[in-house]
A and B are shown apart, each in its own frame.
Chain A
Amino acid sequence: MTWVNAVVQGVLLGGLFALFATGLSLAFGIMRFVNLAHGDLAVLAAFLAVSTTAALDVNPFVALLVIVPGFAFGGYVLQRHVFARTMGPDPLPSILVTFGLGVVIQNALLEHYSADSQGLDAGSIETGSVRLTDEIAVGWFPLLTLGVAVAVLVALQLVFSRTRAGRAFRATADDPAVARLMGIDDRRVHARIMAIAFATVAVAGVFLGIRQTFGPADGPAALLFGFEAVVIGGLGSLWGTLVGGMVLGVAQTVGNQVDVQYDVLSGTLYGHLIFLAVLALRPQGLLGRRERA
């Protein structure tokens, strides 16, 4: 039964990974942009939530009302004025700029907040749970995380398929040059996409902060998990991020279970190994289609 429990918890953990992965997947799918500061931005959001909750004496969920719009605005401005200048056939400039940004964020957090672990207190939802059987209990908070991840994906799906802006997004993803000819301002589309990516990563960061303690150096791990979820699910597939996140989550929780019983390797490592296995056996990802140019 402990194994079934591990799988259930892993699926729920997948919701958090999917939240990390959504922004990465979106930026890559629409503009071939890889943001290496993604994880550090999530951790930045968590730290800002710590400061906001302390300053205004509010629940972290209320802090989201300030942080998410702030991040969306930040993403829009950064894309418009900084990232846009690095985009082109050569991936090096964008990698250098986002990697440098990540290192700067990480060390600025270290300088300002010190290396101490921090936590966010969301109240009773953190400890409450529903009993499914005698041995399996599902926490309200992991359930909420998964619900939010699904809601974000559904919302994005609707925006993409039903709205005028979504049509412009898809057109720009398919061919920016032709989209431009049709009167679409691709730079504004890119900025909007980055705003959405930043908003989702802010949500992911605050949820991470409620779930567990965190420190300034946790950004890279968040980036790697999000990236693994994207690749496992399939590059450019929005729902793939949820599947990828769940596979990664189950690998980690079941891996931890193996570790407890046999003391071999940690759960994180099992997550990485699943990623490598997918990369070797099914490089297009679980839901991905075969190579598109």
Chain B
Amino acid sequence: MSRAAGTTEAAADQDGPAATGTAHRISRRTPESTGGLVGFGLVTLALATLPWWDAEGALQTTLVTILLYLALAQMWNLLAGFAGLISIGQQMFVGVGVYSLLTIAEDWGVDPYLTVLLAGLVAAALSVPVALFAFRLSGGYFAIGTWVIAEVVRLLVSESDSLAGGDVRSLTRASLGGYSRDARDDITYWLALALAVGATAIVVLALRSRLGLALRAVRDSEQGARGLGVDVTRTRLVVWVVAAFWTGAIGAVVLLSSPSARADSAFSVLRWTALVIFVAVIGGVGSTTGPIIGVLVFWAIDEQLADAETWRFIVLGTVAAVMAILAPRGIYGLVHRWRPVQFFPVRRRLVGRGVGER
């Protein structure tokens, strides 16, 4: 990266009195962002203790799905909204997570909860060769290219004898035997919560870092960013691998939270990419708050249409397509236009004497 960008970064790191040698300094904190972080922390805490106060467990079961979708939407948003990598192949990493868990935990006998981490590593390892092919395409053709590669992986898993992707498979006593049913439900829920909160944290921390500056520079002008010395391919590759790791781990928890899997369901483009895209788009692509808003809308709509899967896709698909035209930055964008609020401290602003407060 260029010296100019590095200097900005250095100033940004001294986010306090040390940098006040001059009249101005760079800050990412806003009154709402402090409130936003406190609120996010409180909600996380409340959700973490849910197993103790939701005795019935009904809310807990629903929340696992919602939290996994939030995690998926944050990762897709990181790729498409910040890195310009519009992937329609994320189902590949969910499916790889599912089959990693089936192989490593069920067939080889490794602890299933430890395997969630390993599933992420398998997905990350796969994502590197995938990038070698997919990164040759850009824009819309990158989108279809990732879709083709996801199809290739799905077909390979379906036709593999050792993975038995054509059959319905599930985790059995062999791998889950050491845990009681209640403990399993609670651990799965906490994993889903950790993945959702972690995904949000990854995006926020990535945007605050040097990588985040590079990403937004590339998004705004790829040539300009190159001119400033940003290694565009490397920057994108880092984000791609991180998103693959996290999506693979999500895939493992998807299997932990559902009774069984088949290659067709584990690699479903509609379930693991289309719905995720709709969530991100409705909430707001390119903002950290967007996916959170989107998943709440998804939850509300899903409550009404849970029995009619086709209608769920028709309604969410229509809403997302209309939003993409009329409100490209989603619900968050509409709120932001009305009142520019920033719930996460990710945007750098110049503050100090003589700088007009926006």
Q: Which residues from chain A sit less than 8 Å from chain B, CB to CB?
A: 28, 32-34, 36, 82, 85-86, 91-97, 99-101, 103-104, 106-108, 110-111, 220, 223-224, 227-228, 231, 235, 265-266, 268-269, 272-273, 275-276, 279-280, 283
**15 pairs, A vs B, C-beta closer than 8 Å:** A36-B144, A93-B324, A96-B277, A100-B278, A100-B318, A103-B274, A104-B318, A104-B321, A106-B313, A227-B144, A266-B155, A269-B159, A276-B133, A279-B133, A279-B145
Question: What's the nearest-Cβ distance from chain B to residue A58, in Å?
Answer: 30
Q: Which of A91, A101, A266 has the most chain B CB within a 10 Å cutoff?
A: A91
For B280, the closest partner residue in chain A by CB is A96
The reply to whether A231 and B141 contact each other, CB–CB distance below 8 Å, is yes
For B285, the closest partner residue in chain A by CB is A92
Q: Chain B residues near A94 (CB, 8 Å)?
A: 140
Q: Chain A residues near B318 (CB, 8 Å)?
A: 100, 104
The reply to whether B324 and A96 contact each other, CB–CB distance below 8 Å, is yes
Q: Chain A residues near B155 (CB, 8 Å)?
A: 265-266, 268-269, 272
A91 to B156, CA, bound (A): 31
Known: A99-B277, A272-B155. A91 touches B320 (CB 8 A): no
B152 CB within 8 Å of chain A = yes
The reply to whether A283 and B136 contact each other, CB–CB distance below 8 Å, is yes
B340 CB within 8 Å of chain A = no
B136, B277, B314, B325: the one contacting A86 at CB < 8 Å is B325
For B269, the closest partner residue in chain A by CB is A220
6 further A-B contacts with Cβ under 8 Å, apart from A86-B324, A100-B278, A269-B156, are A36-B88, A92-B86, A96-B320, A100-B318, A107-B311, A275-B148
A103, A224, A235, A266: the one contacting B313 at CB < 8 Å is A103
The reply to whether A108 and B151 contact each other, CB–CB distance below 8 Å, is no
A34 to B132, CA, bound (A): 22
A95, A103, A108, A223: the one contacting B270 at CB < 8 Å is A103
Known: A96-B320, A100-B320. A34 touches B152 (CB 8 A): no
Q: Chain A residues near B317 (CB, 8 Å)?
A: 100-101, 103-104, 107
A28 to B142, CA, bound (A): 13
- Convert B128-147 into 0s and 1s, putting 1 for each residue whose CB lies closer than 8 angstroms to a CB of A: 00001100111111011101
A28 to B306, CA, bound (A): 38
The reply to whether B136 and A279 contact each other, CB–CB distance below 8 Å, is yes
Q: Which residues from chain B sit less than 8 Å from chain A, CB to CB?
A: 80, 86, 88, 132-133, 136-141, 143-145, 147-149, 151-152, 155-156, 159, 269-270, 274, 277-278, 281, 285, 310-311, 313-314, 317-318, 320-321, 324-325, 328
Interface of B is mostly: helix
The reply to whether B86 and A82 contact each other, CB–CB distance below 8 Å, is no
Q: Chain A residues near B321 (CB, 8 Å)?
A: 96-97, 100-101, 104
A96, A110, A224: the one contacting B144 at CB < 8 Å is A224
The reply to whether A99 and B88 contact each other, CB–CB distance below 8 Å, is yes
Q: Chain B residues near A283 (CB, 8 Å)?
A: 136
Q: Chain B residues near A99 (CB, 8 Å)?
A: 88, 143, 274, 277
A23 to B328, CA, bound (A): 26
A231 to B149, CA, bound (A): 14
The reply to whether B314 and A272 contact each other, CB–CB distance below 8 Å, is no
The reply to whether A85 and B325 contact each other, CB–CB distance below 8 Å, is yes
A104 to B281, CA, bound (A): 15
Q: Chain B residues near A273 (CB, 8 Å)?
A: 152
The reply to whether B139 and A111 contact each other, CB–CB distance below 8 Å, is no
A104 to B321, CA, bound (A): 10
B88, B137, B159: the one contacting A266 at CB < 8 Å is B159
Q: Chain A residues near B328 (CB, 8 Å)?
A: 92-93
The reply to whether B144 and A223 contact each other, CB–CB distance below 8 Å, is yes
Q: Chain A residues near B152 (CB, 8 Å)?
A: 269, 272-273, 276
A220 to B147, CA, bound (A): 9
Q: Chain B residues near A272 (CB, 8 Å)?
A: 148, 151-152, 155
For B328, the closest partner residue in chain A by CB is A93
A82, A91, A111, A266: the one contacting B140 at CB < 8 Å is A91
Q: Chain B residues near A101 (CB, 8 Å)?
A: 317, 321
Question: What's the nearest-Cβ distance from chain A to residue B296, in Å?
Answer: 20
The reply to whether A34 and B139 contact each other, CB–CB distance below 8 Å, is yes
For A109, the closest partner residue in chain B by CB is B310
For A34, the closest partner residue in chain B by CB is B140
When A and B form their complex, which 10 residue pairs have the shortest distance between CB atoms, in order from nearest?
A: A34-B140, A100-B321, A91-B139, A96-B324, A107-B313, A103-B317, A104-B317, A107-B310, A100-B317, A227-B144
